[in-house]
Amino acid sequence: MFEHLQNKLSEALHILKGHDRITKINIASSLKEIGRALIDADVNYKIVRNFIRKVQEKSIGKKVLTSLNPKQLIIKIVYDELVSLMGEKSVEMNLSNNPSVILICGLQGSGKTSFSSKLAFFLKKKNKYPLLVAADIYRPAAVDQLKLIAEKVNIPVFSLESKNVIEIVDQSILYASKKKRNVIIIDTAGRLAIDQIMMEEIKKINQLSKPDEVLFVVDAMTGQDAINTAQSFSKVLNFNGIVITKLDGDSRGGVAITMSSVVKKPIKFISNGEKIEDLEVFHPERIANRILGMGDIVSLVEKVQEQFDEKKTKKIYQKISKNRFDFNDLLEQIQQIKKIGNIKNIISMIPGINNYFSFSGNQKDSLKKIEAIIDSMTPYERNHPKIITDMSIKRKRKISKGSGTTLNDIDLFFKQFHDMNKIMKKIHAHSGKKIVKDFIYQMINKKNNI
């Protein structure tokens, strides 16, 4: 997710490295490459032109603080503009009613059924009692697909043999009330905005169910077409949120960057994998961090906390605060990360770690490399990471040989561990919501320092 754009932006910003001030000349080349990177990411040309203009206006003549260099300042400006473009902040769903109704709509093949299941699972973890409604009576096996996924996570599905979708929705609301389900998620059939019959049907469903949330699902792989479709659909049905699916298969990310500003609707969720856990609330500031290669520590902590019980989490945090986080702890974290979901997406949340890992091959192999390095250490070395600074070349060679890695791999890994340890301590000392801003200047130069 965003790998292509992340790499291109890194190259564009690297042009400014070594300069002691910003001028029209040295920023011109960098801005030109930033523009190309955004266009390659399938961002609309007009939006790119406006984006570059704003960055240029805010950077030329800007006084550079003594703690920053021109590259860092430009990254801060690009970060702010990306956040602004994507919607400033996350927008929560309105689930105040009992039951609350969520209507899911979109094109056929956009991932509505998978998203409906993921959303139900997401809400269940938030102590809600969701009911899935199989209202797609046209696609073969649509009902069976929904039941199959929901059954695995013990979420009820309401369906009828009837071919009258209005009847299905009407009965589902009564059923939810009877069974004390406080969230109703209606999975509807795919439809085009130009199909008048199908659009009339969704409008009737909307009128009958009186949804608290109408979410429009788009496939990230369709690029600008997804944005055009959302615009057309919004003219017929006034949805109040967007869901972007299949982001794990789109390394460009243009849809996520521009959808909200063009359609004038907030992105509420992104789906980035096939597992039912692979659903995230959309946070513009966190996504901007990922795009700029600075990771997403806040989301990572949230996901890890879902896997760890309170006692284990407290133990880890205590070790971090006392500067006692060691290689055994890292190994335990990796094993938990592998359970969370899409490894590629989870690892990308760790600031600077993409410098060490390449995900062009098997994602699991990257984690296996770390595990092999740690397993090749002695128990004393695993428990005392501070000794790595004084570790002899002879000892490093033994670890390298035992893990099947190079000496360069070992040195890079030790540096990454040192960097991650510092970041973990910052997490303990700062509130989660402030982490992005607090770390912005510390993280921005990582890509080219390693």
| Region 433-447 average pLDDT | 41
Final residue belonging to a domain, choices 225, 256, 291: 291
92 domain-assigned: no
Tell me which of 45 and 433 has the higher pLDDT: 45
Lowest mean pLDDT among 226-235, 239-248, 314-323, 324-333: 314-323
pTM for this model (two decimals): 0.70
Digit-coded pLDDT (tens) for 153-207:
999 999 999 889 999 999 999 999 999 999 999 999 998 888 899 999 999 999 9
Residue 293 pLDDT level (bands cut at 50, 70, 90) = confident
Range of the domain at 20: 3-86
Final residue belonging to a domain, choices 62, 86, 110: 86
**Residues 268, 134 within the same domain:** yes
**Residues 273, 127 within the same domain:** yes
Lowest mean pLDDT among 8-12, 66-70, 247-251, 265-269: 66-70
**Residues 208, 323 within the same domain:** no
**Residues 128, 276 within the same domain:** yes
**Residues 151, 165 within the same domain:** yes
Digit-coded pLDDT (tens) for 309-353:
556 666 766 776 667 778 888 887 777 666 665 666 666 666 555
**Residues 335, 241 within the same domain:** no
93 domain-assigned: no
Residue 270 reports pLDDT greater than 90: yes
**Residues 70, 137 within the same domain:** no
Tell me the C-alpha distance between 440 and 434, whole Å: 10
112 domain-assigned: yes
Residue 441 reports pLDDT greater than 70: no
- What's the structural domain count of the chain? 3
Residue 13 pLDDT level (bands cut at 50, 70, 90) = confident
**What pLDDT score does 437 carry?**
41
**What pLDDT score does 444 carry?**
38
**Residues 257, 336 within the same domain:** no
Output the domain CATH number for residue 211.
3.40.50.300
Residue 438 pLDDT level (bands cut at 50, 70, 90) = very low
269 domain-assigned: yes
63 domain-assigned: yes
**What pLDDT score does 447 carry?**
38
**Residues 160, 183 within the same domain:** yes
Tell me which of 357 and 331 has the higher pLDDT: 331
CA 104 from chain centre, in angstroms, equals 21
Lowest mean pLDDT among 5-14, 149-158, 300-309, 370-379: 300-309
Lowest mean pLDDT among 55-59, 270-274, 423-427: 423-427
Residue 220 reports pLDDT greater than 70: yes
Tell me the C-alpha distance between 384 and 394, whole Å: 18
| Region 436-443 average pLDDT | 41
**What pLDDT score does 118 carry?**
96
| Region 222-242 average pLDDT | 90
| Region 100-121 average pLDDT | 95
Output the domain CATH number for residue 68.
1.20.120.140
**Residues 270, 371 within the same domain:** no
263 domain-assigned: yes
Average model confidence (pLDDT) across the chain: 82
| Bridge partners, 216 (sequence order) | 105, 242
91 domain-assigned: no
| Region 269-277 average pLDDT | 89
**Residues 82, 126 within the same domain:** no
CA 110 from chain centre, in angstroms, equals 18
**What pLDDT score does 434 carry?**
46
Output the domain CATH number for residue 372.
1.10.260.30
**Residues 263, 157 within the same domain:** yes
Residue 224 pLDDT level (bands cut at 50, 70, 90) = confident
Final residue belonging to a domain, choices 247, 266, 291: 291
95 domain-assigned: no
Say if residues 290 and 1 touch (Cβ distance below 8 Å): yes
